[in-house]
Structure 1
Amino acid sequence: MISPLSNIQKQFYINNIVYPKDTSYNVPLVYKVSGALNLIILENAVNAIINKYDILRSSFKRNGKQLYRLTHEEEKCKIKVEQVFLSTDFVDTNTAELDEEVHKRFNLEEWPLLRIKLFVYKNEVTVLSFIFHHIIIDLHSYNIFVNELSHYYNNYIEHIPVNSEKSSDYYTNFVDWESKWINTNDAAKMLDFWRHQFDARKHLLNLPTDFKRPAMQSKLGKRIYFALNEKSTSDVKQLAKLNAVAPFSILLAGYALLCHQLSGQNKIIIGVPLSNRRIANNKNIFGPLLNIAPIVIDFSDSKKSVELILHVRMALLKAHRNQEVPFLHMVNHLDIERSFAYSPIFQIGFAYEPRTEFSFNGVSTEPLVVERKGAQLDLFYSFWEDDKKIHGFMEYSSDLFAESTIIKWIDEFKNVIEYLCDKH
């Protein structure tokens, strides 16, 4: 079956053409596995999910300027879980084999756009990797995948029948809805909201760089992982509770304040992924529905800690109410200045990405962080929480910044968070 692409899929596909070596939109889910994982059962469970959701049976084609999605029949879409035995010990995720798997580029014109491997190391450590391309998945869909794979695996192990019917929530339903909605009065009102949020011709954030910005981004980059200490984590949660917001808002406020201090600019625009699932019929669709919303934090008037937090809260609330406008549609209709040297509207991003574990009977899985060699933006901060600490990483463009600079900024970010918590 042939069908059109959503706006976010067009965005991913165009990026794939413009930056043919970019792997920053590979989505790796990597787990350390303890226990006897049944590979045949795992494979059957994965293929049941592929059969259920049309987007997982997709490849993408181009005919001139026309882009389209090809959905393959389930009989032709059976994926194998590749088992790899290694003669080296597993110490951390910086192994050559895992690095190669995470950064192997997908050909979007060929199915599958998902790879699964089980690495068995000499010291009997087992690592399970799922690598998706972002064009078929988002965070909400990833959570569906983890939950349903656990459910199917456990039922197969226990010889319990499972519902193998295809989902009626086809990704094409979302594409059809989006193409119709975008011509409505509601869409026009939301686009007008975004038109008044920022100056289309003055949106470049001039963070101090170590290297001259190239005329063409390479999309090469790195990640530096870090964590707030237990006291700072507790302070962030307490400050969030006092102001009736999530820790997300506190960290976003600190990130914006850091970028304001570094750049000297008063309007800080931060790209924040929103789920775009407010519409009832879209809530359970598997596939990328997310929109990247430009959150504008204005430092034109000096703000105390509480005022900044409330300002961020309101900016997020307004963005949430206007999140259905696709980012690509925004760029195309707001006379946004474009350049191959930087991303349009915003050059920095911020996201909450909680870690999710499988619940396989007789098997435990531990999420692992992996090294990345790509950068979607100049700078991107992502975080997640465990019982004791807030963890995160700074992903940065190696075209622009040295590692030592980012390490320094991470320390400054921690200081900013402490400042916000102390000044409430």
Structure 2
Amino acid sequence: MTRHEVLRTRLVAGPDGVAHQVIDPPAPMPVPVFDLSGSLDPQGAANDMVTKDALTPFDLANGPLLRATLVRLSPDEHILSLVIHHVVFDEWSDRVFQRELSALYEAFRAGEPNPLPPLAFQYADVVAWQRQWLTGDVLDSHLSYWRGKLGGAPDLELPTDRPRPAVRSTEGAVVRFSAPAGTAEALKALSREHGTTMFMTLLAAFDVLMSRYTRSDDIVVSTPVANRNRAETEDLIGFFVNTLVMRTDLSGNPTFTELLGRVRGTALGAYAHQDLPFEQVVDAMADVRDRTRSPLARVSFNYAAEAVGTSPSDRERAGGAGMGIETGTGLLPVQFDMVVALGEDDGALTGEIQYSTALFDAVTVERMAGHMVTLLGSVGANAEMPVGELPVLTEAEHEQVVREWNATVEPLPVVGGVHELIAARAGSMPGAVAVVCGEVSVEYGELMGRANRLAHYL
């Protein structure tokens, strides 16, 4: 905490109600120790303790915004639990924190001095610099881009299992899935061939899936970005991550490779304007904030090269070959209707879908995960196919639709022709509708009368 000021920072509201940073001086950090070695299930008890600690709220004004607990499982096995508020920490910070903590631990255990070089900047310095830079013509340029890109963007209307509640709920659950290594290799080759990143390729596939579900060619999803595009920020801990909104045009039923070009252009434009904080984009686009849904985008998509999951067991479960869907049993907070994240593990693609339990049932999300896996395989097999023709049904669903729900093999009645079937229906149900043309309908009895008159005339 001495090294990174942001870890000893509090957010205190001023007289105007606006929170500002208060950086406390370095001080020893309490680390309570809990000995669970005598428990019947030390690991299970530790998991419960860590989960409870993670769900305990922070006091932003009084701090601290970092809690540490040491749990003893046995004389030579311990767990260090660290809970840090997201306002001072992001995923990149986690990597920095673990790298530096390991370096300090190894050095101090060996009786050596601090091996880390001093930091030239602190998080507050970068924030102050960005605030000064993002004004005037620079700010106007970024705002103009996002207004032009997102103006008139529709809401992503996914079919839900229940109506949207009046008050947005953050309760959610997770479904995990995986795609074979062969699919991952095919998509990597496709990305190399067309000059796209794996993120762009997977986002394009996800856009296709969202287009199928919403029956729309205008797809809007959000994605987190590290927003550390300057070398000075690479070794800093802090909340740098920003949210970008990607709007994709799928009109004209392009081939997937054509869609890749569109997504690439959208992504590069968004990256060039990523310095504008998401909340300022929201303020520029939304005159009236709808509190029942997340602003600008209801669905979030992300890709990271490492495996998706929060623990080694998660990664192990998610990394098997095939679809491998696993439904999470516990609740977790979600800020969107749906959050889809993909990663890699031992060459295979792993993924998870976090979803709002107020809107979706687990079986619905499991079905979507299966469609995502099928679609990724379809893209890898034939990227020149129009996106509207790419298969999304799993083998089991295809068999159900084509075979089970379409079993039309029936014995034919012994008749001389279709006219006899029509005459029989007219005799048994003369008032049933036989023919419809626009606003006009003709019943079987009337149809037979007209046919008889025509026959007599002929």
For the residue of structure 2 that corresponds to 1:162, the secondary structure is: coil
CA distance in 1, matches of 2:158, 2:21: 38
Q: 1:280-330: per-residue Cα shift (whole Å, max 9, x none)?
A: 544443201121010111112212111122222221111111111111111
Q: Is 1:316–2:267 an aligned residue pair?
A: yes
Q: Is 1:330–2:289 an aligned residue pair?
A: no
CA distance in 1, matches of 2:313, 2:33: 19
Q: How many Å apart are 1:366 and its aligned residue?
A: 6.9
Q: How many residues align?
A: 365
2:89 maps to: 137
| Greater mean alpha carbon deviation, residues 64-73 or residues 314-323 | 64-73
1:345 maps to: 296
CA distance in 1, matches of 2:232, 2:189: 36
1:102 maps to: 54
Q: Is 1:257–2:216 an aligned residue pair?
A: no
Gaps of 5+ in 1: 1-49, 357-364
The equivalent position to 2:109 in structure 1, one of 136, 142, 157, is 157
Contact 1:117 1:128 in 2 (8 A): yes
TM-aligned CA distance change 1:121 to 1:257, over 3 Å: farther
Q: How many Å apart are 1:65 and its aligned residue?
A: 2.0
1:243 maps to: 194
TM-aligned CA distance change 1:115 to 1:84, over 3 Å: farther
TM-aligned CA distance change 1:401 to 1:94, over 3 Å: farther
TM-aligned CA distance change 1:253 to 1:402, over 3 Å: same
The equivalent position to 2:336 in structure 1, one of 357, 377, 387, is 377
Q: How many Å apart are 1:397 and its aligned residue?
A: 1.0
TM-aligned CA distance change 1:67 to 1:336, over 3 Å: same
TM-score relative to the length of structure 2: 0.73
What letter is aligned with 1:162? N
CA distance in 2, matches of 1:283, 1:209: 41
Contact 1:169 1:284 in 2 (8 A): no
Q: How many Å apart are 1:352 and its aligned residue?
A: 2.9
2:355 maps to: 396
Q: How many Å apart are 1:242 and its aligned residue?
A: 2.4
Q: 1:227-285: per-residue Cα shift (whole Å, max 9, x none)?
A: 22222222222222222322222221121111111111222111111122224544443
| Greater mean alpha carbon deviation, residues 232-241 or residues 275-284 | 275-284
TM-aligned CA distance change 1:160 to 1:367, over 3 Å: farther
CA distance in 2, matches of 1:154, 1:123: 20
CA distance in 1, matches of 2:30, 2:252: 56
Contact 2:36 2:42 in 1 (8 A): no
CA distance in 2, matches of 1:113, 1:54: 12
TM-score relative to the length of structure 1: 0.78
The equivalent position to 1:415 in structure 2, one of 368, 374, 379, is 374
The equivalent position to 1:196 in structure 2, one of 110, 132, 148, is 148
Q: How many Å apart are 1:383 and its aligned residue?
A: 2.3
After TM superposition, the runs of 4+ consecutive aligned structure 1 residues lying more than 6 A away are: 90-94, 122-125
What letter is aligned with 2:164? R
CA distance in 2, matches of 1:380, 1:155: 40
For the residue of structure 1 that corresponds to 2:150, the secondary structure is: coil
CA distance in 2, matches of 1:79, 1:94: 19
What letter is aligned with 1:383? L
The equivalent position to 2:257 in structure 1, one of 306, 309, 313, is 306
Q: How many Å apart are 1:110 and its aligned residue?
A: 3.1
Contact 2:100 2:116 in 1 (8 A): no
For the residue of structure 2 that corresponds to 1:74, the secondary structure is: coil
What letter is aligned with 2:19? L
Map 1:9-20 to 2 at 5 A: none
TM-aligned CA distance change 1:415 to 1:303, over 3 Å: same
| Greater mean alpha carbon deviation, residues 409-418 or residues 90-99 | 90-99
CA distance in 2, matches of 1:376, 1:289: 18
CA distance in 2, matches of 1:154, 1:322: 41
Q: Is 1:211–2:170 an aligned residue pair?
A: no
CA distance in 2, matches of 1:341, 1:146: 37
1:30 maps to: none
Aligned-pair Cα RMSD in Å: 2.8
CA distance in 2, matches of 1:398, 1:96: 22
What letter is aligned with 2:155? L
Identity rate, percent: 23
Contact 1:274 1:293 in 2 (8 A): yes
